[in-house]
Amino acid sequence: MKHFLKETDFSRAQAAEVLTLAREFKQNRGQRLSSVLAGQTWAMIFSKSSTRTRVSFDVGIHELGGHPLFLNKSDIQLGRGETIEDTARVLSRFIHGLVVRTYDHADLERLAASGTIPVINALTDFLHPCQIYTDAFTAAERWAGPGGDLLESLRGRKIAYLGDTAFNMANSWILGASLFDMKLSLGGPADYAPGEAIRGLLRAEGRPIDFHFTTDAYEAVADADIVYTDVWASMGQEDESNARAKLMERYAVTEKLFAAAKPDALFMHCLPAHAGEEVAQAVLDHPRCVIFDEAENRLHTQKAIMAVLAKAAR
C-alpha cells in the first residue's frame, strides 16, 4: 500500500508526474470531471483547524469523481479514545483513502500502518508535504514555461526559509529541497535550528545533510530564488506566541530583507499570514508575492497526488 506521509514517499519520477499532472489539472479545470476516483469515498480526519487544506481536498476529491467525507476528530469515536489502529481498520472496510491532519507524526504513521487504504499527510507537527509539492509546482510553473520540464526547472534554485526553522514547514522544505535538488538556507534563532528528527530522517534515507542554517537573516536570503516564511507560533503553540515573537522578530520578511534576495525572487508563505509579524504588508502586496497562486495550486497539486496514489494502488 502506497502512502504520502512525507515528501520522499514519492520517487523523483513520481514527483515529476505529480507536477506534470498538476499542470494538466490546472489547464483542464472546468472542462470535465476526471474519473480517477470514480465510485470511491475518501475521508478527511482533521484534529486541527484548516481552510486551504480542508476545502481543496474536499473540492479535489469531488473533481476526481469521488465522494469526500469530512470527519472532525472530536465527532468520531477516535476523539473519545477509540484506538488509532481500530479506527484505521474500521475505516478501511468502508472507504478508499484517508487524508489526515494531526499533531504527532507517529500517530499518522500508526494509522497508515494499521489500515489497508492509502493515507495522505494533510499536516503534522513534523511535516506538511502537500504544501511543499504545491509550492514547488507554483515556482516551477513560472520557471519552466509552457510545456517545459517542471522538475528540472527547480534544480539548483535556492530557497531561503526564515523564522521558525524547527517545525513542520522548515522540516518539509529540508526534505523537499533534497528531493527536488534545490539549495536551502534556513535563517532562525540558534535555539530553533533544525532538530535531530529531520536530520535522522535524512540519514536514514541516505540523503546528504546539505542544508545551510544561519542566525543571520541577510546571509540566508543572499542569492535566493524564493524567500519563504510561516507563522512564528504554529497551531498548538499559541501559549508561546509572545516569547517566539521576541526571538523571531529579526527574521521578519521586510521589504529590505526581500530586496536582499535575487532581483526576480518570489515571496512565498503557506498561509495563514500575519501581516506586520513574520511578513510586512508591503511584501504581501508585492508583485512577486505568489501566496494566492500557492493557495489555488493546493487544489491542482493534491488532485495530482491522489491520482498518483490511486495509480500505485491499481
Q: Which residues make up each annotated binding site for L-ornithine?
A: 168, 230, 234-235
What does 231 interact with, of ligand NVA, ligand CP, none (CB < 5 to 8 A by kind)?
ligand NVA
The burial of 287, by beta-carbon neighbours within 10 Å (0-12 exposed, 13-18 middle, 19 or more buried), is given as exposed
Q: Is residue 268 close enough to count as binding ligand NVA by CB under 6 A?
A: no
Distances (CA, A) of 276 to 165, 172, 255, 283: 19, 25, 11, 10
Known active-site residue 298: yes
Q: How many residues bind ligand NVA (CB under 6 A)?
A: 9
Which residue numbers belong to the known binding site for carbamoyl phosphate?
50-53, 77, 101, 128-131, 270-271, 298
Binding site for ligand CP (CB under 6 A): 50-54, 123, 131, 270-271
Distances (CA, A) of 29 to 18, 25, 26, 63, 143: 16, 6, 5, 9, 21
Known active-site residue 31: no
CB-based contact 137:19 (threshold 8 Å)? yes
Report how far Cα 134 is from the mean position of its chain's Cα atoms. Answer: 7
SS3 243: helix
What does 284 interact with, of ligand NVA, ligand CP, none (CB < 5 to 8 A by kind)?
none
Site for ligand NVA in 142-171 (CB under 6 A): 167-169
Residue 132: name the closest of 48, 22, 287, 237 by CA: 22
Least Å distance between CB 237 and ligand NVA?
A: 8
CB-based contact 297:134 (threshold 8 Å)? yes
- d(C-alpha 17, C-alpha 74), whole Å: 36
* x/- letters, 212..251, toward ligand NVA (CB under 6 A): ------------------xx--xx----------------
What does 234 interact with, of ligand CP, ligand NVA, none (CB < 5 to 8 A by kind)?
ligand NVA
Known active-site residue 40: no
Q: What angle do CA 264, 270, 274 make, to 5 degrees?
A: 95
Least Å distance between CB 164 and ligand NVA?
A: 7
| CA dihedral angle for residue 45, residue 121, residue 64, residue 88, rounded to 10 degrees | -50
Which residue numbers belong to the known binding site?
50-53, 77, 101, 128-131, 168, 230, 234-235, 270-271, 298
Least Å distance between CB 118 and ligand NVA?
A: 22
- d(C-alpha 111, C-alpha 69), whole Å: 17
Tell me the residue nearest to ligand NVA as measured from the CB: 234
CB closer to ligand CP, 144 vs 283:
283
Known active-site residue 270: yes
What does 51 interact with, of ligand NVA, ligand CP, none (CB < 5 to 8 A by kind)?
ligand CP
| Active site amino acids | 101, 128, 131, 230, 270, 298
Residues that bind ligand NVA (CB under 6 A): 123, 167-169, 230-231, 234-235, 270
